[in-house]
């Protein structure tokens, strides 16, 4: 594995972590005490989506350009 693939793998793991952690907070909304934690969960989910959109963009750029 070269340096770029290791960096990409770390970004993938961060993206999965953000998605899962944010989705867990959104699904368990009734267990969350205050609104700030819910907003944090939503923002983590959005961050995970943005990471995956960026990764898909990198993949498509590598394939077609």
* Domain segments of the chain as ranges: 3-64
Cα–Cα distance between 63 and 60 in angstroms, integer?
A: 5
Q: In this structure, are residues 45 and 12 in contact, taking their beta carbons and an 8 Å threshold?
A: no
* Residue 5 confidence class, pLDDT cut points 50, 70, 90: confident
Position 1 scores a pLDDT of 65
Nearest residue to 41 via CA among 55, 25, 30: 25
Q: In this structure, are residues 41 and 22 in contact, taking their beta carbons and an 8 Å threshold?
A: yes
Joined together, the tokens standing for residue 49 give 């989506």
pTM of the model: 0.74
- The string of pLDDT tens digits covering residues 6-63 is 888 888 888 888 888 888 888 887 777 788 888 888 899 999 899 999 888 888 887 7
């Amino acid at each position: 594995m070269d340096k770029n693939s290791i960096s990409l793998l770390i970004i993938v793991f961060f993206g999965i972590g953000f998605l899962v952690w944010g989705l867990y907070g959104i699904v368990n909304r009734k267990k969350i005490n205050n609104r700030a934690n819910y907003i944090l969960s939503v923002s983590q989910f959005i961050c995970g989506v943005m990471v995956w959109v960026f990764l898909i963009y990198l993949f498509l750029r590598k394939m077609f350009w």
